[in-house]
């Protein structure tokens, strides 16, 4: 059965897309730990990060760096934390979370934001990537 990320990649589910190329997609997390929380995902559905083919794994990292710089510019956070947990969806993904302190990386803080807020965050990050 396809993961929720594969369904998003295939256009079966909507998302707030930040970036897409032949190997990866980056989207706003549906539940935002902090506003600007992005997930970078290889398009190939692989459960564990250490099994991801080198080209896709490298591409995730390179795109994550670019997006993190845009997140920092947009949110004015001092850090963008990265987390690979892998428990909630069996498809490797890298969380990029704007943070001001360690407690800002706690997934218990995650909440759904209204559609208009998500679209605004999306636009600001995408614009900062240009």
Quote the pLDDT of residue 87: 84
What mean pLDDT is predicted for residues 96-121? Answer: 96
What is the per-residue pLDDT across 14-66, written as a single tens digit (0 to 9) for each?
999 999 999 999 999 999 999 999 999 999 999 999 999 999 999 999 999 99
What is the per-residue pLDDT across 58-101, written as a single tens digit (0 to 9) for each?
999 999 999 999 999 999 999 999 999 888 888 999 999 999 99
State how far the Cα of 72 lies from the Cα of 54, in Å rounded to an integer: 27
Quote the pLDDT of residue 85: 86
Quote the pLDDT of residue 2: 83
């Amino acid at each position: 059965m396809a993961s929720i990320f594969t369904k998003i990649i295939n256009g079966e589910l909507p998302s707030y897309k930040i970036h897409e190329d032949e190997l990866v997609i980056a989207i706003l997390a549906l539940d935002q730990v902090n506003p600007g929380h992005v997930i970078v995902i290889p398009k190939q559905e692989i459960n564990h990060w250490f099994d991801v083919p080198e080209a896709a794994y490298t591409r995730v990292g390179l795109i994550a760096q670019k997006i993190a710089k845009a997140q920092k510019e947009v949110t004015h956070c001092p850090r963008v934390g990265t987390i690979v947990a892998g428990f909630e969806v069996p498809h490797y993904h890298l969380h990029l979370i704007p943070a001001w302190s360690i407690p800002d990386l706690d997934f218990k803080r995650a909440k759904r934001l209204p559609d208009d807020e998500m679209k605004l965050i999306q636009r600001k990050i995408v614009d900062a990537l240009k």
